[in-house]
Structure 1
Amino acid sequence: MKHRFISKRYWNDISTPMGKIGNFIRKYDNLINLSLGDPDLTTDERIINLAFEDAKNGHTHYTDFLGDIELREEICKYYKNTYSYYVKLEECMITTSGCHGMWLVLESILDDGDEVIIHEPYFTPYPQQIKLARGKPVILETYEEDEFQVDTQRLKGLITNRTKAIIINTPNNPTGTCFSRKTLEAIAKVAIQNDLIIIADDIYTSFSYAEPFIPITTLEGMKERTITIGSFSKDYCMTGWRIGYVLAPSFIIKTMKDVNENNVFTAPSISQRAALHALRLKDEIQPPMVEEYKKRIFYAYERINMIANMSILPPRGSLYLFINIKETGLSSMEVADRILHEAHVLVLPGNAFGAFGEGYIRIAVTVGLEQLKEAFDRIENIDIFNKKIY
């Protein structure tokens, strides 16, 4: 809004359809919320109990400026054991969520006017996060017919003298796509040839259903030019703990630390202890959790295939399904509104994720199978989904 007390940068409305959904969550008593990707499973009780035991034992103070040393050691061990990838302590920093990590990264690497390429549909905050760091977002469109993989010829066509970085997100929010090794290697080749940074937003690493997740930083020649952002929010059902991390060359990590001293100083100590225990209990906690969400994803996929004027690619990863509703003849917002008001199910319109999300809606499988069944039972009774539109 325009007001003399508000920065002119924010006089124009920068809110998005995602940001406005809070207005609808309490609209109907029987609402089924498939909008935000907040896992409905509570953080495993063992993590909670161990973290609070640590708090009682004195872990209530500032940690090391780069983060709890035990936690950073455990993250380094995880990458070594899982990917045969070696990370030094000084190449790892704990952040107050993945989003905070992204801001610290952008603030640390961008000069005014530097361009950052993001593939669209994209995680909603990316453009504003880049602008907050005085950069310029550049859109790389991806298409359903390409399974939303990045086309490197289109990527090359966007590179200018001001291009500094490329953000990649796989498994992807919102499309659910998982970049193939071929795609990752092609992106890496472009980055090396043009001396660019890759910012890998690796938030859904545990939710790669078709084949194991590959961190782009592990590819040959990429460690020196990759910044990896990780989070415990989705992989461990810990959204409220607000804890993430960044892996990067030590000189970038040092700069991020210096920036963060003027921001939040250190991430919450108790949350860091919870993350430490999550990693140590990973093999016990993650498999049943991932299997639960996989069941939900494939159930939703089967239901979508039975509904007229909806179509969807086979599930590949993440907690999301990006549903093509172009056959309805309506816009993404119109379809989302019809589903809300007629079925009392809250979904996100595809244009919340950029212009190339128009013609789609996104659902998050963050409710159980019983509620998913009820949601689709209601949706398929809306007239635009139970008959052919001409």
Structure 2
Amino acid sequence: MNAKSQIREILWTRFHAENENRLKTAELNHDILKDVTRRYGMNLNDIKSAARGKMTLCKMCRVCNGETCRGLTPGPGGKGSGQTFVRNVEKLKDITLNMRVLHNDDNVDCTLEFFGQTLKAPIFAAPIAKIKANYGTSFSEIEYLEALSAGCATAGLLPFYGDGVQSEFFDLPLEFIKKHKGFGVPTIKPWINEITFEKIMRANEVSPVAIAMDVDAAGLISLKQTSTPIAFKHLNDLLEIRSKINGPFIIKGVMTVKDAELAILAHADAIIVSNHGGRVMDDGISTIEVLSEIASFVAHRALILTDGGYRSGYDVFKALACGADGVLVGRPFSHAAIGGNAEGVALYAKQLIAELEDAMRMTGCFTLKDIQRTNINLHF
């Protein structure tokens, strides 16, 4: 740590001590963090340092690649050997960009029209719940949701929200979606249909941008043994689920052309190419390795989103070049929220957007439609 970082760390610790009582109130956290940023010039490194000090399970590694937390589930790691999580990150680094600089000196535009919303970029916060259990932090669920919702709103990005066995993990996000006038996507786990339908009814009441189901969560064995069990879904289930959703329906957890075909038959408006961050199956293929094939098959019959190991705007560019319409980013948004509250989320979001804009500029792409497979090289 250099001298400047040490000074910032000392000042942040002092400020935290001086404002301990205020920091316990989630409603005030956003204003406090703005004050810290203004007074001490906090940046993402400062926010990461703060997050590291607030977590016991997640070690806030220099690169969030699943190596240190292999097998740590529940927790931040991948299932079993953790190889699926690790592979997600590794394979993204096996893609390189083709630099092209002989072009007009124009501004780039990475805005995305998404189910009636104009977003600053095709980047979304992935659905995550149970912050305390997954990260080993004293940061409460409501503090996390406050930080995520306010930070994403500031940056112009759309948050997906998670779900859990306890009702609070679904009900609290609905409150924040309502507060932000529907700006959010509740993500329902694949509970048995009776429970699923009841949650859809409640989600419809807040008029979200869309409603998602992470069908890949059926692989979370621990949830099958609860009072609200999950279940694998077949086409008839999905058709019935679709019939009860008022707005767009998003199916998360598609990793094969066969499942993409079923999602299309179920009238999904979007699918998410996802392996649940490597948390439901060991030794799985990465999302980026199957993305092009699935996108080619879907052929614009539904929007294609993806997640799994995306850490930078350059990673987002790679997914767009492989046919995705947008990318969900998970763990790093949680780190930004824990370490920097709403200000941290907004700061990280703005960095992702800036990196995507830079990748577009340096490859001769001025709009999202300009991004093509020829802009990248796959080394796998």
TM-score by length of 1: 0.36
TM-score by length of 2: 0.37
- From the two aligned structures, give the one with the greater helix fraction: 2
